[in-house]
Amino acid sequence: MFLLDEVPDTDLITVAGPEGKHAVDVLRLGAGERVRVGDGDGVLAECEVVSTAPGRLQVRVLTRHELEAPDPEFVLVQALPKGDRGQLAVELATELGVDRVVPWQAARCVTRWTEDRVARGVGKWRAAARAATKQSRRPRVPEVTEPMTTRQVCGVLADVDLAVVLHEQARTPLAGLALPTSGTVVVVVGPEGGLTDGEVVAFRAAGATPVRLGPEVLRTSTAGAAALAALSARTRWA
């Protein structure tokens, strides 16, 4: 799939820039091949390649769709992992249906986004979300917000339809929790060092429920994706 800033309401669309270069120079697309073009905000066009030129291709629109946003909305509050695992967490979450990702500076995060690193960190997460959207052929690119503190996350949790905190010591299984049929569902994933008692207390006070996925303890970079898959299986995939 190719993402453009806008999908014009015309019979012919030119795909240029980095997307066009990738299509022609890397994928080596030719006339007659089918492609999908979207704007990352719900508009998708099924197209056929008409012609190619260096760094660009022209496609004919076969069908055009404007898809509504998924309901319920899925939000992942992801504690900052080490190294490039943050991008991995965003990629997997995007493939499995997340609609919004909130980077969270938890108390036990090894990684610290200092003021001069915030823009770079958020930029990498947004690039990962965009790439995973194209790979999974999703109609919408998930939003990646600015990083939040624990207090700010509590503010988010207090205003949603369901909030869960993944915790290996929780007694309530996620699979047994009643899910809303619409609204917003938030999943909070802690860092490699785990949640502090204070964070768990704060999230409970904000209305969140600690839950466990199963007997295994997953990495912070994969736990969110596992939870989103479990939620999708009971809502969007049903």
* Residue-wise pLDDT tens digits, 158-217: 999 999 999 988 999 999 899 998 999 999 999 999 999 999 999 999 999 999 998 888
DSSP label of 214: S
Q: How far apart are CA 116 and CA 163, in angstroms?
A: 31
Assigned superfamily of 73-233: SPOUT methyltransferase, trefoil knot domain (3.40.1280.10)
In the chain, where the domains are located: 2-66, 73-233
- Interatomic CA distance for residues 112 and 28, integer angstroms: 41
Q: What fold, for 2-66?
A: Ribosomal Protein L25; Chain P (2.40.240)
Per-residue pLDDT at 83: 87
pLDDT over threshold 90, residue 238 = no
Cβ count near 183 (within 10 Å): 12
Tokens encoding 7:
């999908």
Single pTM value for the model: 0.92
Whether 2-66 shares its CATH topology with 73-233 is answered no
- Check residue 47 and give its pLDDT: 96
Contacts for 12 with CB less than 8 Å, ≥ 6 apart: 50, 58, 59, 60, 61
